[in-house]
Structure 1
Amino acid sequence: MTLPFDLRALRVFLTVAEQGGFSAAARELHVAQSAVSQTIANLEKRLELTLFHRHERRISLTPEGETLRQHARELLERAHAAHLAMLELHGLVKGEVRIGIPSMLGSYYFPPLLMGFKARHPGIRLTVVEAGTRRLQRMIHEGELDLGVVIADTSSQGLERRHFLSEEMVVCVPVDHPFAQCEAVSAERFFREPLVLFQDGYFHREFVDALAQKTGHTADIAFQSNLIPLTKAIVRQGFGITTFLRRVVDEPALAAVSFAPAAWLDLSLAWARGSYLSRAEQAFVDFVLENSEAL
């Protein structure tokens, strides 16, 4: 059976859909706009379907185009995995790992792992993306990342996971705050304070939201910021308190105090269930699991 498209046409189609226009896609692909337009026209002719609505200044996918986009992304990812697997059989690929890491882990936990892995495998290229855990999960599902660090909860059930670290979430306050002298702080006392929190989609924020729901309290959010240095500065100046993984509270002016009861998060490396892990990706997973006790 002859297919009505090839991988090159699918790649052009996806680029047009993601860039939102033929000119932008042409720039992204480093080809002439006429070549992009012709490829899409030929694809629509062979499929006997209209894939894009042409507006005066923009384009949008038709329902048929949206269906093709879902299948095209999967086909291209599978083709990439097959190509990589074949090249590896010949020893021609040094390897690449695209990994997504939440900001707290990327700044305070993963640098030794990344440097240690690079020292052991200098030929493997590492691409690290920082984002919230929910966005990382979407990027894994859509093939934009090979691996990501996620929290072990119900939203990550569609992923293959390997647990590598359990870490305590603590209350972070200035050293002159009354909580700094406590052995532990209850959720009730925590939620009486103005809070400095990450935005939605980060495990830091989801932890606080889940704690509020579980204990029947409402968070008094004074500031929202995904920037750890800014959050620490706000806490130091006494404009609010926050919660971090214990290792993140590493300044003399700040104190880390356990929740009562203590709160722990289970962190896992994850990838799309059923996807192919290249030798480079598998080597990274193995390295993290072997060295997680040193974190």
Structure 2
Amino acid sequence: MNRHPQLRFHLPELETFLVVIEEGSFSRAAERLCVSQPAVSSRVKRLEDVLRVQLIKRTTRSVFATEDGELLRTAAQDALAGLYGVLRQFQDRSEAARNRVVIAATPMVAATFLPHIIQSYSDRFPDVQVVLRDMPFDMLMANLSGGMADIGVTAMDGDYENIEFQPLAEEPIVLVVPAKHPLAEQSQVTVEMILPYRMIFLDRYTNLREKLSGEFARFGAMLKTSTATTMPTLMGMLDTGSCVGFLPRSMAQINARESRVIVELADFHATRNYGSVVERRVALTSAVQSFREHLHAEFVPLV
């Protein structure tokens, strides 16, 4: 089994040796490396001591490599060229990452609030690549914690460990009913008026369900609910006439049709908070930080 010799020299010593050979002078090598001439001589001597060979010969007029020095120079130049090539790849990749912002947003936010903000940011910072990915809330949070997204834009309920939430807007929750539903004729309704009906919610609206369930309990009633993962599914269920739904006002208005009516609740008030979210433990790049600042400066609720 082949074993590599354990050579205990440092990379600056090898680099200094190569510069001395290239310059043909210890003094010029010292100027190029921005160190003193004794430091250059010391590095070369340490390298020779470790390798136990003479690498450089000096005369009154010149400095040149010995036969062993030429052998080392050829091998070192090839090895360092490969090493520096890899390091340049790492540097280029790091520079690209610093000029890239990956945004994770829930589908409705991605389709409505963000496009014009991303466009205005790209106009201002054309060198920054902005990637927008729409996904369900649970996947959004997983992408943030896993480092696959730099920033999230979504509505949040409650607190999450290691997540920093910065609010953008607060929206009232409204009731959406089919156009032919008995409640559609009312401009306002009360909790007591909606007791007989089944409610449908997006499945992440747990706080809203709990709050409404408490209101139903005051009347001795139990909240009958269905849930949907996505907005199209919720709207499809609502259009069947089998249930009524609760949504933030902007989502309700965006999804308004002749077959759907928005109704205000007189005695039940709830809101959804939209904002940007980032991992507390992650240091934001300048590109991510500038996009977050732009998002909060330019965000305008649709209603």
Question: Where on the TM-score scale, by shorter chain, does this alignment land: which range?
Answer: 0.5 to 0.7
Give CA deviations for 1:203-261 in whole Å, capped at 9, x if unaligned.
x3542244324653644235x43232332233233122111221222323211122333
Contact 2:216–2:223, Cα closer than 8 Å, also in 1? no
Matches of 1:291 and 1:176 in 2, distance apart?
Answer: 39
Determine whether 1:284 maps to 2:291: yes
Question: What are the superposed Cα offsets for residues 142-163 of structure 1, whole Å, 9 maximum, x if unpaired?
Answer: 3232111344543235322221
Structure 2 CA distance for aligned equivalents of residues 119 and 263 of structure 1: 37
Q: 2:280 maps to what in 1? A: 273
Quick one: which amino acid aligns to residue 242 of structure 2? Answer: F
Show the counterpart of 1:239: 242
Q: 1:183 aligns with which of 180, 187, 212?
A: 187
The Cα of 1:290 is off from its aligned counterpart by 0.7
Distance 2:138 2:271 in 1: 19
Aligned-residue offset at 1:181 = 3.0
1:85–1:170 distance in 2 versus 1, CA, 3 Å: farther
- Does the 8 A contact of 2:102 with 2:131 survive in 1? yes
- Cα deviation for residue 130 of structure 1 reads 3.0
Q: 2:100 corresponds to which residue?
A: 96
- Which residue number in structure 1 is paired with residue 168 of structure 2? 164
Q: Which of 214, 232, 251 pairs up with 1:248?
A: 251
C-alpha displacement at 1:86, in angstroms?
10
The 5 Å alignment of 1:1-295 reads 87=94, 95-156=99-160, 158-199=162-203, 202=204, 204-213=205-214, 215-216=216-217, 218-222=222-226, 224-249=227-252, 250-259=256-265, 260-293=267-300, 295=302
Unaligned runs of 5+ in 1: 1-82
One-letter code aligned to 1:103:
P
Q: Is the 8 A contact 1:102 1:133 kept in 2?
A: yes
Offset at residue 264 of structure 1 (A) = 1.5
| Secondary structure of 1:284 counterpart | helix
What displacement does 1:191 show? 4.8
Structure 2 residue aligned with 1:33 = none
